[in-house]
Structure 1
Amino acid sequence: MNLPNKLTMLRVILIPFFVVCELIPYSWGKWVALVIFVAASITDKLDGTIARKYNLITNFGKFMDPLADKLLVCSAMICFVGLGTLAPWIVIIIVAREFIISGFRLIAAENGRVIAAGIWGKAKTVVQMIMCILLIMDVSALSVVTTIAIYAALILTIISLVDYIVHNLDVLSDQK
């Protein structure tokens, strides 16, 4: 397993530690959760940069990298619903998009295709991660910025879904 793939797997391994720290009822927990979430988010940038720079792009990485991002962000958003800091309907829309895209990827994989994340999906992930960081911090002085990030993430989620479907609709007709 190459370094970018190890970084992707590290992101997955950090998720339960993030969730525990985010949900424990001690004020220091959110700050530890913040450090873990930021570290996990940085691995997303690092693994892609290293993979492209050293030509270490693999089908495993193309498949697992976006899945690791989804697991990290969706885990955080589910915590936020439990904590009452994010509306469930927003999480439902975002998670539904992730299931739809995962379904497309599974169908593509069955037909020997691996579909890497597009520019809208990458932008969506970055904005969702920023949204999560702001929600973890829960700083009242940043409430307007946090609200903007939430709706920007929601809008980019919808745009990236439409873009993904439009550009990969042939996956459904390529079924064996």
Structure 2
Amino acid sequence: MSGNAGSRADGAAKGAGGSKGGIWTPANVVTVARIVLVPLWLLAAELAGAGAEGAAPGPALAVFAFFVVLSLTDKLDGYLARSRHEVTTFGKFLDPIADKLVVVVALCYLLEAGSVSSWVLLVVVAREFLVSGLRMVVASRGVVVAASNLGKWKTATTMVSISAILLARGLVGAPATFFWWFGQLLLVAAVVLTAWSGVDYFVKCRRYVTDAEEA
């Protein structure tokens, strides 16, 4: 009897998403590491001059590889959380912040380097502010808005476009031209998806914003 009770207790803890390590699950450690690595990536990019014309191919390619690692850790922490059944509230809060930090810092750097338009950064940042505000309003009504597929595609497309532009800076000749234009075209698609996903959030949650507060 006591053994069965213990098994049921363990199962209940797992079912509730509990973890013996508290918030410091492997997935959350990866997420925190990604946030810590963002300023290190920016420092490496500034020192390497990866966004400047005539930058040395070696350092520029290293900065590109560093960014790819940062981007892929998003998939890693998600896989760890799901496979180990350790999805935590802390992780749900921190993971999207890490994604936004990676994208916005990279776009700010590329904007300073003259590799992207200021309109790209405006659309991305404005969308994040508006959607974050919307989520807070909806959360105050006791409703949780799950991440949509549009939002996931937006993030993936933006990261791939930035990666392509950084890669172009480390190449010469035809390959550099190809990846440059590939990255720019993909960035246009990312901006469209960014605006579209933002509108989609507001359409889905419009009744929570337009309804009068209950007395």
TM-score by length of 1: 0.89
2:161 corresponds to 1:131: yes
1:90 maps to 2:120: yes
Q: Which runs of 5+ in 1 are unaligned?
A: none
Alignment match, 2:8:
none
Aligned to 1:7: 30
Match of 1:53 among 62, 80, 83: 83
Name the Cα RMSD after superposition: 2.1
**1:16 is aligned to 2:28:** no
Match among 192, 197, 210 for residue 160 of structure 1: 197
- What letter is aligned with 2:35? V
Asked if 1:69 is matched to 2:69, the reply is no
Structure ranking higher in helix proportion: 1
Q: Percent identity?
A: 33
Within a 5 Å distance, the mapping from 1:134-149 to structure 2 comes to 134-138=164-168, 139-149=176-186
Q: Any stretches of 5+ residues in structure 2 without a counterpart?
A: 1-23, 50-54, 169-175
Q: State the distance in 2 between where 1:63 and 1:153 align.
A: 23
Conserved? CA contact 2:64–2:163, under 8 Å: yes
Q: CA deviation at 1:111?
A: 5.2
SS at match of 2:85: coil
Cα offsets for 1:13-38 (capped at 9, x unmatched) = 11001111222235344323222211
C-alpha separation in 1, matches of 2:87 and 2:102? 21
Matched to 1:57, the amino acid is V
- Name the CA distance, whole Å, in 2 between partners of 1:156 and 1:89: 14
Superposed CA offset, 1:41-78 (max 9, x none): 11100111221222211122112111110000000000
- Distance in 2 between the 1:166 and 1:66 partners? 21
Query: CA 1:21–1:150 in 2, change beyond 3 Å: closer, same or farther?
Result: same
Q: Deviations over 1:90-140 (max 9, x none)?
A: 111111111112222333455565544221111100001001101211222
In structure 2, relative to structure 1, the CA distance for the partners of 1:116 and 1:32 (3 Å cut) is farther
Q: 1:111 to 1:12 in 2, by over 3 A?
A: farther
Worse-matched range after superposition: 57-66 or 151-160: 57-66
Structure ID, larger Rg: 2
Q: How many residues align?
A: 176
Of 139-148 and 36-45, the range deviating more from structure 2? 139-148
State the match for 2:108 in structure 1. Answer: 78
